[in-house]
Amino acid sequence: MRGTMTNRTRDGSSDNATGVIKGFITVSSFIQILELEQKTCTLGVYSKDRDGYLFIRNGAVLDAETGALQGEEAAISILGWEDTQIRVISSCEKKKKAIKSYLTRLIIEAARCKDETRFVDHAQDEIKKAIRLAERYHFEKSHRLISAYLKAN
């Protein structure tokens, strides 16, 4: 293998690409189907400005890569992406298993990470609103916003 899979083009010009899936199924759901049917393939997954690859042999996730992430961290990251486009490549170049965890654990961890990110983003938005209100001397509104946030969380 000359380079990593992420150096390939997004247009699917790979010789053995079999199709593109987008819009109606998540990466997690699709991989569960592949596990059930014990398929061997490589999935090129694209979401917004990110891309990554999941290597699957006989239904088991062998390895993953996206950007600087490799292995389990990359798989968890990819499984948490939304609005994805999945390109199915009918072969799997990886021979060695780099991911030791079961698929179910990877999916649960990806969902947990995604939920935590949403919570942190929402919390930061609420706190930023309260800070802006306080900076404009709207202390009562700021206090109510912070109080409501602290009671809820």
Specify the pTM.
0.62
What pLDDT digit, counting tens, does each position of 40-94 carry?
A: 989 999 988 899 999 999 888 989 999 888 989 999 999 888 888 989 888 877 7
Centroid of chain to Cα 8: 19
> Is residue 12 pLDDT above 70, yes or no?
no
Residues 6+ apart with CB under 8 A from 77: 52, 66, 69, 110, 113
Q: Following DSSP, what letter does each residue of 92-112 receive, concatenated?
A: ----S----S-HHHHHHHHHH
